[in-house]
């Protein structure tokens, strides 16, 4: 019975995400995280000592989230049904594979209507300037985003759930949200968000590499691991390049290259060597890779937990 209590939330959360994704009409903890970060940034990100203030905001919010969820599941432990339900729901909130795939699919659908529609919809899910992108660049950006967010939106929270339970998964989501909101290298956030960005890099180090390996595993291309790790190192991010490189190798295409971010041209290196046209039909293959990678990692965690208990 004790084994089921600890293991059941994972497959339940996985199935809930497959069915519902992120319901937009329901309260979501990540929105609350965003509101807390925004409020803290408004108050603290001014005048002197911005790095220290950003450091303190990151620590307080991250540790606070961990403690809240740790205490919640501690007090729910005597009530198995509530314990399983609570953990299942919040782990489902922590992973976002269905929503990720839906957003990518929506960009491809809008692109069929016209270039401007595709650019506009892509701007919802990427940080780069989309106003001048051509059709090929839009499709490439979608695939880059799907691979990168497979790591930090799915595999990473599952990884920290496997180690620290729901408190670990939600701590990770707080750090990742901090990075997405204040981890920019511009005048406003360079010092204030620097610690959050570095902490996010540290937390994603192992999950990014696990993601790349799992992606190769599900398409039976593990012989390309050395190439993926070589290509992944080219990326300006210490982590994002690995799942991107895995997908580039799988599809035999090329990602990366220069792009504008917040008005600044970032000369990113290319990942992969085959500069070819991306076909609309390839989206299904990429979505399948995301689903299979998630499914396999869920099975691995369940197996490890079963052997441990």
Q: Give the model's pLDDT for residue 3.
A: 67
Q: What are phi and psi of 269, to 5 degrees?
A: -70, 160
Task: Work out how many domains the chain is built from and give that number.
Answer: 1
Computed over every residue of the chain, the mean pLDDT equals 93
Among 157, 155, 146, residue whose Cα is nearest residue 90? 157
For residue 54, give the H/E element and its range: helix 50-76
d(CA 107, CA 111): 6
Q: Range of 22's domain?
A: 2-308
> What 3-state class would DSSP assign to 255?
strand
Count helices and strands (H / E) in the chain. Answer: 13, 2
pLDDT band at 209 (very low <50, low <70, confident <90, very high): very high
d(CA 92, CA 166): 10
Q: What is the pLDDT of residues 152-174, one digit of tens each?
A: 999 999 999 999 999 999 999 99
Q: What is the pLDDT of residues 37-76, one digit of tens each?
A: 999 999 999 999 999 999 999 999 999 999 999 999 999 9
How is residue 224 annotated by DSSP?
G
């Amino acid at each position: 019975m004790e084994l089921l209590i600890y293991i059941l939330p994972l497959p339940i959360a996985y199935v809930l995400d497959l069915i519902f994704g992120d319901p937009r009409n329901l309260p979501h903890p990540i929105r609350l995280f965003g509101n807390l970060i925004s409020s803290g940034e408004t108050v603290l990100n001014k005048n002197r000592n911005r790095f220290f203030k950003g450091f303190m905001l990151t620590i307080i919010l991250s540790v606070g989230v961990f403690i809240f969820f740790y205490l919640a599941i501690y007090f729910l432990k005597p009530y198995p049904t509530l314990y399983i339900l609570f953990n299942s729901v919040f782990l489902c909130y922590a992973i976002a594979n269905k929503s990720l795939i839906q957003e990518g699919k929506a960009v491809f659908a809008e692109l069929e209507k016209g270039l401007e529609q595709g650019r506009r919809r892509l701007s919802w899910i990427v940080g780069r300037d989309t106003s001048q992108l051509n059709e090929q660049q839009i499709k490439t950006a979608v695939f880059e985003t799907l691979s990168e967010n497979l790591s930090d939106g799915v595999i990473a929270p599952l990884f920290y759930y496997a180690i620290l339970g729901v408190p670990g998964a939600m701590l990770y989501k707080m750090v990742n949200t901090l990075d997405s909101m204040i981890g920019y290298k511009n005048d406003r956030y360079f010092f204030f968000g620097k610690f959050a960005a570095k902490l996010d890099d540290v937390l994603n180090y192992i999950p990014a590499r696990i993601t790349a390996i799992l992606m190769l595993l599900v398409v039976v291309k593990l012989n390309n691991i050395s190439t993926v790790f070589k290509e992944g190192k080219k990326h300006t991010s210490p982590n994002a390049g690995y799942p991107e490189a895995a997908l580039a190798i799988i599809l035999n295409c090329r990602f990366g290259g220069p792009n504008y971010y917040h008005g600044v041209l970032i000369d990113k290196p290319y990942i992969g060597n085959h500069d070819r046209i991306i076909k609309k039909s390839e989206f299904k293959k990429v979505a399948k890779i995301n689903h299979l990678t998630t499914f396999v990692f869920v099975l691995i965690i369940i197996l490890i937990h079963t052997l441990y208990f």
